[in-house]
Structure 1
Amino acid sequence: MQIITNQANKELKEHGNDQFPILVSEEQLSLYDTGSFLWHWHPEIELTFLTKGEMLYQVNNTGYHLKEGEALFTNSNALHTGSMYKRSDCQYLSVTFDPKLIYGFSQSILYQKYVEPIIHDFSLSAIHLNFSESWHESMIQSIQTIISLYKKMPNSYELDISIELQKMWKTLVSDDSIHSAHPAHGKLDYERIKEILSYLETHYIEKIRLADIADHVHLCESECSRLFKRYMNISLFTYLLEYRIERSIEYLSDSSLSITEVAANSGFTDSNYYSKTFVKLRGCSPCKYRKHLHKQ
């Protein structure tokens, strides 16, 4: 299993529907092909509540170590990915909702005064709700209440969820420190990172040069490399290598393909180098991993 995105890395999964745009889903990292989900983004806000284990979560250029009982607020349109901590499984609940459930329509005072300043704050990509602030507990309680209401669906649960979302949002905007606590990153840098990720996803099977990527985002090569490393906390070509390995998992599930063909389909010109890289990143050979896939 893996998250399905378009070429711009936007997740294609529907989060609820137009009538009630919210989705609560039970998630488990071991159900993803490599114990992690790919970089993606969506216009909805996502609340992640850990029920068992720990996980490493990255939103834009900031990493978070989430533990059982903690939660993460991920802002609208923020790039994010998650992976196992020390290769141990993790279970969590994801609450993904359109902020329209809070403000109603874009001309409303609720949107202009309380919601727009948050969702358009590119420095506020995420908030780790780890009880380091007194208001974190109230936020987590609201998340748990929303999850419970969504699961049980009592009479007027839609109203109750909307009320709880507004209550949570009031807690959020009432804390003056949330903006100053997060370093600023410009919208242009964010858009360039999305363009780079889109380029890599489209061309990963081909030979990719730094010059090609830099030209694509209208930067010199050195600044392109620095921007990616600064924003993603990983070098550009290390990310590409990991992405190619991630994509190769899909081809390994097809037993009709040889390891050489899997390597070629994933952007590797040398199958031996592919196998060595796979062992380094996944802890076993492609053949062994393929056997594991077929046992599932």
Structure 2
Amino acid sequence: MKTSKTGKTQIITNPSQKELKEHGSYPFPFLVSYESLSGYDTGSFLWHWHSEIEFTLITEGRMIYQVNDRCFLMKEGEALFGNSSTLHSGHMADETDCEYISITFAPRLLYGYEGSLIQEKYVAPVLHHRGLAAIHFDSSEIWQEEVVEGLRNIIEESESRRPFYELRIQEQLLHIWLLILENCSVEGTECRSIDEKNYERIRCMFSFIQENYARKLELEDIAQHVHICKSECCRIFKNYMKESLFDYILKYRIEQSLPDVLDGKDSLTEIALRVGFADSNYFSKVFHRVKGCSPREYRKRNSMLM
């Protein structure tokens, strides 16, 4: 992550939307982050992915959290498991802020070294499970309450930095992993190979859009980039991302315009052309549809919060 010129947070990704932030260090690949949706330029965190596993605990408010093709309405006190290499995004559920804590770690913190029995028998089956892209812990069952309590213990240990805290964190992570294995069906399911092929196509679409959003984009260009026909391109994106490819492009352009809108130095026409719109009227219309207000209202509203 980095801070934008508006003073807010941005998730930095490569063209395929892989997050470039380092989660911990090589000796101890683990990180606890305290976040709020209002802390982002866009009031949400946009689609990205990383190889690390991530648990998210909501501490205040509500969030609509999407992992691959699944959406979750998360409330205060609830948590979510996001599997390795899954695409995920989150935004406010009711235009009010949401505060949350992310616990992110490399899978090897669970199994030690490549090829170990723990990796092959207990970790890899979950990482490759097509039905376990995400797990919502709403404390409706006792074991889910244990998971949430384990996450709170991990956060406490990370804050305290008392002697042996790394061992206690690893112990809690292994306990949570055991709860998942004991309570979620892992065996006898297909791996994520088919899904991964399509998600790789989606990542390529993301990459193409990120590099070309400022110019006129044709569906044929995107389809050719991922080597599929136009109808298949639209079908895959809509099926997995739950929105049309065209709507995503418009929303992406609006999100890219926000720093300049907040800055207020350039005209709406200049900003619109910079992010791929043909004119300021259409830009303002789409902006209102996406953000619920005009660009000027958005700047005024956010300037009072800065």
| TM-score over 0.5 (shorter chain) | yes
Let me know the Cα RMSD of the aligned residues: 1.8
Number of positions where the alignment pairs a residue of Structure 1 with one of Structure 2: 296
- Answer yes or no: is 1:28 the counterpart of 2:36: yes
1:148 corresponding residue in structure 2: 156
* TM-score, normalised via structure 1 length: 0.95
Pick aligned residue for 1:286 from 279, 290, 295 = 295
Matched letter for residue 82 of structure 1 = G
CA contact (8 A) 1:124 1:179 kept: no
Per-residue CA distance 1:214-270 (angstroms, 9 max, x = gap): 111111111111111110010110111111101100222333322111111111111
- Answer yes or no: is 1:8 the counterpart of 2:16: yes
CA contact (8 A) 1:57 1:80 kept: yes
1:64 corresponding residue in structure 2: 72
Residue 11 of structure 2 aligns to a residue whose secondary structure is coil
2:277 corresponding residue in structure 1: 268
Give the stretch that moved more between structures: 180-189 or 20-29: 180-189
Structure 2: how far apart are the matches of 1:123 and 1:229?
19
1:39 corresponding residue in structure 2: 47
Matched letter for residue 4 of structure 1 = I
- Give the CA deviation at 1:291: 3.3
Structure 1: how far apart are the matches of 2:59 and 2:223?
41
In structure 2, relative to structure 1, the CA distance for the partners of 1:139 and 1:11 (3 Å cut) is same
Residue 34 of structure 1 aligns to a residue whose secondary structure is coil
Give the stretch that moved more between structures: 127-136 or 233-242: 127-136
- Give the CA deviation at 1:7: 0.7
2:225 corresponding residue in structure 1: 216
Give the stretch that moved more between structures: 127-136 or 223-232: 127-136
Structure 2: how far apart are the matches of 1:149 and 1:30?
27
Q: Which residues of structure 1 form unaligned runs of 5+?
A: none
- Answer yes or no: is 1:194 the counterpart of 2:219: no
Residue 177 of structure 1 aligns to a residue whose secondary structure is coil
CA contact (8 A) 2:37 2:43 kept: yes
Per-residue CA distance 1:63-97 (angstroms, 9 max, x = gap): 11001111000000000000000111111111011
- Answer yes or no: is 1:226 the counterpart of 2:235: yes
Matched letter for residue 77 of structure 1 = S
Identity %: 48
1:259 corresponding residue in structure 2: 268
Alignment of 1:1-150 (within 5 A): 1-150=9-158
Per-residue CA distance 1:28-68 (angstroms, 9 max, x = gap): 11111221111000000110000111100000011110011
- Give the CA deviation at 1:288: 2.5
Matched letter for residue 14 of structure 1 = E
- Give the CA deviation at 1:183: 11
In structure 2, relative to structure 1, the CA distance for the partners of 1:179 and 1:32 (3 Å cut) is farther
* TM-score, normalised via structure 2 length: 0.92
Structure 2: how far apart are the matches of 1:7 and 1:166?
33
In structure 2, relative to structure 1, the CA distance for the partners of 1:86 and 1:178 (3 Å cut) is farther
2:3 corresponding residue in structure 1: none
CA contact (8 A) 1:248 1:266 kept: yes
In structure 2, relative to structure 1, the CA distance for the partners of 1:20 and 1:181 (3 Å cut) is same
1:242 corresponding residue in structure 2: 251
1:169 corresponding residue in structure 2: 177
Deviant stretches of 4+, over 4 Å: 178-185
Matched letter for residue 8 of structure 1 = S
